[in-house]
Amino acid sequence: MPKLSDFENEALLGGAQPLSAFADKLVLIVNVASKCGLTPQYEGLEALYQKYADKVLVVLGFPCNQFKGQEPGGAEDIAEFCTSIYGVKFPMFAKIDVNGKNADPLYQWLKAETPGSNNADIEWNFAKFLVGRDGEPIKRYSSQLDPMQIEADIVAALG
């Protein structure tokens, strides 16, 4: 079975980013959008990243425009929005599809391999996946779930 480190995605502002760079880290993967009612979740995601970065948690943001066109901008627009409005410092990636025939391989893997996910489509922006330090998916979380409600699972996974 593949592990997180087997994937490579394009960084938001260009350049291939092997996800092996995050090997041995606890990873929270989120499909994000800047014009969504859930966009304020960036605050909680950044707070978790800042609080646990030294304990090897990394948040990875994947912009997606598949849900009512709520991520319409280009890479520079997305980067500017995330940093100026929400102070995002966690790694951001190029816009991807998370569902359908053009779904990014990372998301195909997450949906297929995360316990309880049952290969179900992503329901909306800000769906979250926690991937263990061993590179294997641990849990999928609803778009509606506030990122801070994942903190107990993060602490447990960090041991």
Under 8 Å between Cβ of 122 and 31: yes
Calpha distance 37→20 (Å, rounded): 32
Calpha distance 130→25 (Å, rounded): 11
- In this structure, what token pair is assigned to residue 103? 């779904």
Concerning whether 36 is annotated as a catalytic residue, the answer is yes
The structure tokens 């960036």 sit at 42
- In this structure, what token pair is assigned to residue 82? 């995330």
Candidates 12, 27, 36, 154; catalytic one? 36
The residues that are catalytic are 36
